[in-house]
Structure 1
């Protein structure tokens, strides 16, 4: 049964939101803000998860994407700021965040920030990289393909009218990666959880 709850501590309207694959966690952003909030929903003991779910008492800030300056070959650019859209891939391993940027400033482009995510045994966000279009093209809409078998496939609609598909191949998918000459590339080292411990943007505490 649907219920209605309000969180008056959050200022402004909800700008964008996305659910985890198991429906236990909602990530959302608020209009005019640069942070990602999370609401965690847990099943009531003694009941099935579909019949009784308790709502969260508060929204938790899991990422602050305030403006940060990066040095590039073409000069400094400022990335971050207001969040326009969130998209979480169906496998729960990649989160794409569309950052609004400033169309009037060349050094503040709209950009897509990508994070590695995991929800078990705890929820974690790990910075992964950025997706940027051709010069002058800004991302308008983002969405993950619901049935990509080899990882996550992000579809991006650009202000230029173009649509691109950005694949993220997971090591667990056992996809062969080929070099420039068509031969299989050398095996890549396995990513160990310990490698990301110090890079985690957010890590949920076990109770």
Structure 2
């Protein structure tokens, strides 16, 4: 499951590297206040960033709100310094915006869960394969995870944050991060197995 997601992420990263040859010129124009440049930037990244926002919020209406606020922040400040690719920087802005949204909605409380309060989930997070499961379906399963599990899973898998970094970002204990990730993987495997059984019955 994680191998499939990371493989697709690497493929997208390589593809994007060839579509941003004029990246620095676009950045200069955006900083100069060019509306046409901002429109090009939005057109280039909006669909991909909407998917990022949806992965974190689990709700498409909320994802659109986060996307809107994220681009307003980008166009207002545009403090890109070139320490990473533009795509990586924009993704980071959207992730921060999504987490802020969840925190403002008080859904952050679900991250503060004690071990004994987590429902039991069979420990089969690394079993089986993902043949027959599309990337879109797998990401839809990720969006359906509980807020805490989903947020930790996204940060660990997609943003490649360590549990220590995640704990600092979400103001939780490092052990809580590892527990939430484990639970997320178990729930995803359960969803995948249920999906396969339903498909076999058709």
TM-score by length of 2: 0.28
Structure number with the higher helix fraction is 2
Taking structure 1 as the reference length, what is the TM-score of the superposition?
A: 0.28
From the two aligned structures, give the one with the greater strand fraction. 1
Structure with the bigger RCO (C-alpha within 8 Å, sep 6+) is 2
